[in-house]
Structure 1
Amino acid sequence: MTVPTRHGLEAADILRLRDGMGPVLHDRSGDTLGFLVPPGTADGWDLPGSACTQTCGPGTRAAANEPPVAGTGWLVPPSVAEARATEPAELRAALGEAARTLEAARRV
């Protein structure tokens, strides 16, 4: 699941504080962050400003040294994140909170 970098960094901080963050990718250009979510999440993901696509088949696991998407690197590798995917409901909540935080910061 990918989002613009600033939004993703804010959500990652929220998830980290709640101990709910799985592995996170960054693209080499610095435009987006990608949260690894369980297989099947893309089928029902509809959050504006984000995109969710399948990168690994069901039952596959991301290797700490090999990101599953070409042109990316690990912001939070699986070894640090205990190799668990971020739960979609937790990610959706963190992204919503991050959007509200960023909107409040823009108003100041």
Structure 2
Amino acid sequence: MLDTGYGTGSRPTTARHRPEPNGGAEPAETPYDLVTVPARQGLEAVDILRLRHSVGPVLHDGTGDTLGFLVPPGTADGWDLPGSVCTPTYRRGGPLADPPITGAGWLVSPKDAHTGTTEPARLRAALGEAARTIAAAEGRDRNRPRTLP
């Protein structure tokens, strides 16, 4: 699972960035939320979003088990899609070039994304369609008659 560094709660467990005491401020935090899902469902959803709408940056964890979709800040407050988790995430300012989570890489990098974040309602619909597609494919595999060699 992608580790956002903020534990399992819905809010970050670390202190928020504050300007340096000398009056010089470091870059501000950039907020976004991160929806993590199993990789198979996430890959299907990326394809659906690319074909029909637009997809924002997408992370993959180092083991390839999960994908993380960057969504607008505040999405976590109302996210309740079973099989997924939405976590508020913060990073220090500047362009989002390097993956903001240690050990993660880009499946869809910010420069290749169609938009800065994925629209939550479209992501929810794509994840639902992806889950139904996977379930249908698994059902076909179980019901397919076996042939003898």
TM beyond 0.5: yes
Unaligned runs of 5+ in 1: none
Structure 2 gap segments, 5+ residues each? 1-34, 141-149
* Structure with a larger share of its residues in strand: 2
The CA deviation at 1:20 is 1.7
Tell me the distance in 1 between the aligned counterparts of 2:134 and 2:99: 28
Aligned residues: 106
Which structure shows the bigger proportion of residues in helix conformation? 1
Match for residue 92 of structure 1 among 124, 130, 136: 124
Give the CA deviation at 1:71.
1.4
Separation in structure 1 between the aligned mates of residue 81 and residue 115 of structure 2, nearest angstrom: 24
RMSD: 1.7
Q: Tell me which structure has the larger Cα radius of gyration.
A: 2
Task: Give the TM-score taking structure 2 as reference length.
Answer: 0.67
Matches within 5 A, 1:34-73: 34-56=68-90, 63-64=96-97, 66-73=98-105
TM-score for both structures, normalised by structure 1: 0.91
Give the match's secondary structure for 1:68. coil
Q: 1:5 aligns with which of 30, 39, 42?
A: 39
Return closer, same or farther for 1:30/1:86 CA change in 2, 3 Å cut-off: same
Which 4+ runs in 1 deviate beyond 4 A? Answer: none
For CA contacts below 8 A with separation 6 or more, give which structure has more relative contact order: 1
Identity across matched positions, percent: 68
Post-superposition shift, 1:36? 0.3
Paired letter, 1:14: I
Structure 2 CA distance for aligned equivalents of residues 61 and 43 of structure 1: 25
